[in-house]
């Protein structure tokens, strides 16, 4: 347990009893110092509800309530037992089963518990498509802390390269801070990326001129980073793609990125109602985990880094490489 002088990281883990915690354990172990983190597993037990009255059902209310209570207790025991996998990795762990509507309770718990991070599987193992569930979408937009999304973590997973896309917006400046903070803690290489979408080229500006402008701005971003996040950006790229999401996914695959860090919204001309369209596509299509910084995020990268201060590694000075492709 962390002391008051060096408070622990709080990671909220919404999951079902059947979820394999070894996968998320590999992810958290690679991204966070286990000795500084408390992982709290949360399972929401949805009570039986009915919009209509049946006398026979009402007469058996006591029996139904007892069965619900027994099922809830069994889930609580199973949930706590499965946390041993994370405890074995050095994490401080706890588990809780509560009643209610999953999305509402998870958002409330993340806020009340002052979570630093929520780790959530974007789709079940049995899912046949790559759609994001409603709960994950709500967390990505309404969450009060960053959301680490994943849908499969292989054996031997590690953080070697963190891709940080930017559209030069204020929100992507925050995601840059988070990407650099995680790079500082994990020792991974931060890679900055700007995608020029073919569909949104300003009229009257040639491709070469647009690329040059993006390069200059990217160089400024590489130099003018937050002083509290000293790890240098040694690699930055400007690429062209049909859409930002396609460019990010293609670049992440080509560069073997282990994590993508991006904001939930940005400078796109048309924003989705609940979640930036590009962010949604990246979360759905990415082969690696994606850390999303919600619009309503209250946790700063500086506070995250302060809690992991003992685990920070000295940056290695190298010449900046900014490329256009």
φ/ψ (deg, to 5) at 183: -65, -40
Quick one: 284 and 221 in the same domain?
yes
Of 150, 182, 205, the position where a domain reaches its end is: 150
pLDDT of residue 270: 40
pLDDT of res. 149: 94
Q: Are residues 187 and 275 in the same domain?
A: yes
81 and 208 belong to one structural domain: no
Which residue range(s) make up the domain with 105? Answer: 9-150
Same domain (yes/no): 145, 165: no
Average pLDDT over residues 238-243: 92
Read off the pLDDT of residues 246-298 as tens digits, 9 standing for 90 and up. 999 999 999 999 999 999 875 544 443 334 778 889 999 999 999 999 988 99
Exposed e or buried b per residue across 30-45, where buried means at least 16 C-beta atoms within 10 angstroms of its C-beta: bbbbbebbbbbbbbbb
Asked if 265 and 295 touch (Cβ cutoff 8 Å), the reply is: yes
Q: Is residue 300 part of a domain?
A: yes
Into how many domains does the chain fold? 2
Q: Are residues 199 and 129 in the same domain?
A: no
Does the pLDDT value for residue 225 go beyond 90? Answer: no
Q: Is 4 a residue whose pLDDT tops 50? A: no
Do residues 191 and 90 share a domain?
Answer: no
**Would you say residue 225 lies in a domain?**
yes
CB 279 within 8 A of CB 263: yes
- Please indicate, yes or no, whether residues 114 and 166 belong to a single structural domain of this protein: no
Q: Is residue 175 part of a domain?
A: yes
Q: Is residue 2 part of a domain?
A: no
pLDDT-based confidence at residue 98 (cuts at 50, 70, 90): confident
Is 84 inside any structural domain? Answer: yes
**For 261-296, b where at least 16 C-beta lie within 10 A, e where not — what string?**
bbbbbbebeeebeebbbbbbbbbbbbebbbbbbbee
* Cα four-point dihedral sign 303, 308, 185, 296: negative
Tell me: do 168 and 308 sit in the same domain.
yes
- Are 139 and 202 in a shared domain? no
Backbone angles phi, psi at 73, to 5 degrees: -65, -40
78 and 179 share a domain? no
Average pLDDT over residues 5-29: 85
pTM of the model: 0.83
The HSE-up count of residue 257 (CA atoms within 13 Å, CB side) is: 28
pLDDT band at residue 224, thresholds of 50, 70 and 90?
confident
State how far the Cα of 180 lies from the Cα of 188, in Å rounded to an integer. Answer: 9
Question: Of 119, 150, 181, which residue is a domain's last?
Answer: 150
**Boundary (domain end) residue, out of 150, 181, 196:** 150
Shared domain check, 319 and 174: yes
45-84 pLDDT, tens per residue?
Answer: 766 554 445 555 544 556 655 655 555 565 666 666 678 8
Q: What angle in degrees, to the nearest 10, is found between the helix axes of 277-285 and 134-142?
A: 130
21-38 confidence digits (pLDDT tens)? 889 999 999 999 888 899
Tokens linked to 154: 């292989």
Beta bridge partners of 241: 197
- Pair (169, 143) in one structural domain: no
Residue 221 sits in a domain of what CATH number? Answer: 3.40.50.620
């Amino acid at each position: 347990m962390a002391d008051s002088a060096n408070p622990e990281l709080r990671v909220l883990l919404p999951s079902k009893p059947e979820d394999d915690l070894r996968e998320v354990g590999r992810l958290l172990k690679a991204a966070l110092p286990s000795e500084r983190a408390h992982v709290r597993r949360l399972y929401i037990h949805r009570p039986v509800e009915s919009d209509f009255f049946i006398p026979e059902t009402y007469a058996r209310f006591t029996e139904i309530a007892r069965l619900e209570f027994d099922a809830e207790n069994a889930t609580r025991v199973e949930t706590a037992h499965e946390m041993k996998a994370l405890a074995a990795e050095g994490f401080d762990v706890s588990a809780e089963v509560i009643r209610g509507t999953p999305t509402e309770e998870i958002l409330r718990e993340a806020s009340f518990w002052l979570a630093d991070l929520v780790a959530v599987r974007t789709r079940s193992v049995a899912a046949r498509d790559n759609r994001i569930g409603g709960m994950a979408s709500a967390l990505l937009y309404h969450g009060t802390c960053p959301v680490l999304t994943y849908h499969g973590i292989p054996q031997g997973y590690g953080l070697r390269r963190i891709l940080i896309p930017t559209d030069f917006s204020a929100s992507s400046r925050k995601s840059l801070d988070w990407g650099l903070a995680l790079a500082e803690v994990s020792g991974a290489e931060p890679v900055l990326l700007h995608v020029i979408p073919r569909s949104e080229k300003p009229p009257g500006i040639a491709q070469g001129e647009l690329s040059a402008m993006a390069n200059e701005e990217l160089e400024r971003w590489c130099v003018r980073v937050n002083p509290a996040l000293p790890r240098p950006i040694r690699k930055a790229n400007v690429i062209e793609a049909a859409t930002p999401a396609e460019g990010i996914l293609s670049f992440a695959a080509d560069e073997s990125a282990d994590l993508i860090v991006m904001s939930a919204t940005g400078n796109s001309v048309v924003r989705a109602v609940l979640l930036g369209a590009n962010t949604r596509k990246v979360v759905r299509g990415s082969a690696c985990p994606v850390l999303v910084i919600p619009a309503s995020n209250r946790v700063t990268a500086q506070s995250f880094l302060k809690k992991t201060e003992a685990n920070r590694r000295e940056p290695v000075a190298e010449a900046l490489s900014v490329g256009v492709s």
